[in-house]
């Protein structure tokens, strides 16, 4: 099934906002095996949307239009789609009731201008909006299915999840493609390609997707039927995992944070963090998943030497002899926060995030990550490229990766993924 998505939005063409709706739809539809082949973004302009829709109707099996369903004059999608579908707009009483009830609930008067949201092309199926006002609608034109969804991301996602995605999945029948995502950290793209590139001979295609904190490897396979394609992907995934070893942190779409969260929960250990150059981001990544209060005891962002001494018990001599950016300081910070908070695992970062702060022998991007358990305290030196935010983010990812390797690589699989 070939899909085209059309985004209506002048504010996206102006670069004022990013098109998270398209990212969401392409991810969800690809995951179930639909092929998103084209994406177009047009201005809030009837003629432009009509033209883009006609182009899409001529080449796609499913056309999804997002945005432009509000009540202000720049909301032109209903008008344009009525023209594309050759149907008149009809005021729908059920929708009007729904809109009025929503306003009642929040104690506001019904603004007459909102009535336009109840205008629907005659004969279209209506999907009520559980988290907003404008409903979605869908119709068929020739052999092409046309869906029109509101542009507010939470509204679009709620309706797409409940109605659009299941409809597409139902229509796909016995699809013949299968795919898998393997997420890695610590190996460059070129090294990964050398290690696994020959697997394309087995009928799997491989894409390499470098991310800020590692490389995602996407495998896809077409078979004579769905089972065939799936079996091929599974064999290929196993081989990739065997060749890349513990660089693979996840098979599936879970993030490194989610994987590490699962491992820490499974181990039943408590964690404390002492950060310098990462400024709070490592703590935030460790507590970003619901339920992290079960293990996250405390975090300390110790920028000043004074705070390293007083809260983390880093010896003055360590700071004077080796400097705050040193292997010794990182280890003392990890040890200090672990002992001070009486937990099983202490993690620390100290480094130079840049763009300033370079010292002799200590370039921008130099970061030490420390790890302390009751058994041992050790550290890792890394040199990271990129702007300040990138250095910080990469340092945090590598710290999470050290935790992963320290605690063992397997935890319970987070939702939607299989831990390696």
Which 333-352 residues touch its own copies, going by CB under 8 A?
341
Q: How far apart are CA 275 and CA 286, in angstroms?
A: 12
d(CA 241, CA 351): 32
90 vs 341, beta carbon nearer its own copies: 341
Stretch that binds its own copies, among 79-87, 234-242, 282-290, 408-416 (CB under 8 A): 282-290
Tell me how many residues contact its own copies (CB under 8 A). 74
For residues 56 and 143, give the distance between their C-alpha atoms in angstroms, rounded to a whole number: 12
Query: Cβ distance 283 to 273 under 8 Å?
Result: yes
Residue 216 as a binder of its own copies (CB under 8 A): the answer is: yes
Residues in 17-56 that interact with its own copies by CB under 8 A: 17-19, 23-31, 36-43, 48, 52, 55
16 near its own copies (CB under 8 A)? yes
Please tell me whether residue 15 binds its own copies under the rule CB under 8 A.
Answer: yes
Is position 322 an interface residue for its own copies (rule: CB under 8 A)?
Answer: no
Beta bridge partners of 217: 182, 208
Q: How far is the CB of 291 from its own copies (least distance, A)?
A: 7
Tokens of 1: 């099934």
Judged by beta carbon, residue 41 or residue 379, the one nearer its own copies is 41
121 or 336: CB nearest its own copies: 336
Which listed residue (58, 113, 209, 231) binds its own copies by CB under 8 A? 209
Backbone angles phi, psi at 307, to 5 degrees: -70, -30
| Cβ distance to its own copies smaller for residue 92 or 255 | 255
Of these, 13, 47, 231, 242, which contacts its own copies (CB under 8 A)? 13
- Is the CB of 43 or the CB of 83 nearer to its own copies? 43
Determine how many CB atoms are found less than 10 A away from the CB of residue 108.
Answer: 9
- Label the pairing between strands 417-418 and 248-252: antiparallel
- Rank residues 110 and 125 by Cβ distance to its own copies and give the closer one: 110
We find the least distance from the C-beta atom of residue 13 to its own copies, in angstroms, to be 4
Distance of alpha carbon 71 from alpha carbon 66, whole angstroms: 15
Rounded to the nearest 10°, the torsion over CA 303, 307, 308, 311 is -130
- Scanning 78-86, 116-124, 205-213, 369-377 for contacts with its own copies by CB under 8 A, the matching segment is 205-213
Q: 294: burial class by Cβ within 10 Å (0-12, 13-18, 19+)?
A: exposed
302 is a contact residue toward its own copies (CB under 8 A): yes
| Contact string 360-389 vs its own copies (x = CB under 8 A) | ----------------------------xx
Altogether, the residues listed in the chain come to a count of 420
Tell me: does residue 280 bind its own copies (CB under 8 A).
Answer: yes
Q: Which of 14, 93, 143, 170 binds its own copies (CB under 8 A)?
A: 14
> Binding to its own copies by residue 298, rule CB under 8 A?
yes
Rounded CA separation 303/273 (Å): 13
> Judged by CB under 8 A, which of 102, 218, 243, 267 binds its own copies?
218
| Angle (nearest 5°) at CA 47 between 122 and 116 | 40
Interface positions, 49-88, toward its own copies (CB under 8 A): 52, 55, 74
What minimum distance in Å lies between the beta carbon of 93 and its own copies? 26
Query: Is the bond leading into 243 cis (omega within 30 degrees of zero)?
Result: no
Q: In the bound complex, what is the minimum distance in angstroms from residue 409's beta carbon to its own copies?
A: 24
Please give the helix or strand (H or E) that residue 166 lies within, else none: helix 165-172
Q: How much is the CA Rg of the chain, to the nearest whole Å? A: 26
Confirm if 358 and 298 have CB atoms less than 8 A apart.
no
| Footprint on residues 131-170 left by its own copies (CB under 8 A) | none
How far is residue 392 CA from its own chain's centroid?
18
Given 281, 329, 366, 391, the residue binding its own copies (CB under 8 A): 281
Give the Cα separation of 103 and 80 in Å (integer): 27
Q: Based on the shown chain and the rule CB under 8 A, indicate whether residue 188 belongs to the binding site for its own copies.
A: no
Q: Is residue 91 part of the contact set for its own copies (CB under 8 A)?
A: no
The answer to whether the CB of 370 falls within 8 A of the CB of 334 is: yes
């Amino acid at each position: 099934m070939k899909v085209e998505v059309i985004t209506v939005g002048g504010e996206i063409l102006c670069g004022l906002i990013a098109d998270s709706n398209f990212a969401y739809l392409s991810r969800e539809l690809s995951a179930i095996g639909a092929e998103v082949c084209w994406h177009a973004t047009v201005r809030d302009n009837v003629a432009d949307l009509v033209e883009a829709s006609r182009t899409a109707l001529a080449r796609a099996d499913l056309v999804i239009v997002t945005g432009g369903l509000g009540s202000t004059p720049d909301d032109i999608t209903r008008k344009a789609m009525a023209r594309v579908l050759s149907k008149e707009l009809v005021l729908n009483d059920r929708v009007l009731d729904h809109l009025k009830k929503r306003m009642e609930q929040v104690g506001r008067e019904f603004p007459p201008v909102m009535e336009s949201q109840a205008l629907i092309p005659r004969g279209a199926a209506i999907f009520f909006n559980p988290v907003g006002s404008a409903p979605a609608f869908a119709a068929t034109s020739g052999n092409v299915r046309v869906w029109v969804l509101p542009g507010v991301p939470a509204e679009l996602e709620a309706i797409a999840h409940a109605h659009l995605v299941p409809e597409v999945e139902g229509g796909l029948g016995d699809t013949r493609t299968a795919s898998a995502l393997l997420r890695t950290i610590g190996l460059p793209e070129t090294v990964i390609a050398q290690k696994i590139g020959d697997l394309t001979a087995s009928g799997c295609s491989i894409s390499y997707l470098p991310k800020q904190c590692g490389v995602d490897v996407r495998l896809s396979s077409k078979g004579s039927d769905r089972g065939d394609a799936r079996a091929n992907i599974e064999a290929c995934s196993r081989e990739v995992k065997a060749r890349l070893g513990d660089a693979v942190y996840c098979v599936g779409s879970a993030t490194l944070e989610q994987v590490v969260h699962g491992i820490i929960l499974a181990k039943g250990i408590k964690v404390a963090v002492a950060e310098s150059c990462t400024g709070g981001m490592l703590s935030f990544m460790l507590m970003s998943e619901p339920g992290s209060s079960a293990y996250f005891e405390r975090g300390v962002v110790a920028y000043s030497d004074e705070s390293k001494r007083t809260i983390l018990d880093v010896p003055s001599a360590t700071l004077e002899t080796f400097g705050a950016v040193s292997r010794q300081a990182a280890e003392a910070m990890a040890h200090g926060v672990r002992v001070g908070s009486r937990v099983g695992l202490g993690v620390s970062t100290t480094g130079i995030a840049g763009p300033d702060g370079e010292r002799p022998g200590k370039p921008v991007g130099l970061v030490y990550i420390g790890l302390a358990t009751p058994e041992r305290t050790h550290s890792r030196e890394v040199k990271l490229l990129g702007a300040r935010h990138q250095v910080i983010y990469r340092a945090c990812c590598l710290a999470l990766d050290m935790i992963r390797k320290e605690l063992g690589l397997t935890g319970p699989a987070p939702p939607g993924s299989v831990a390696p």
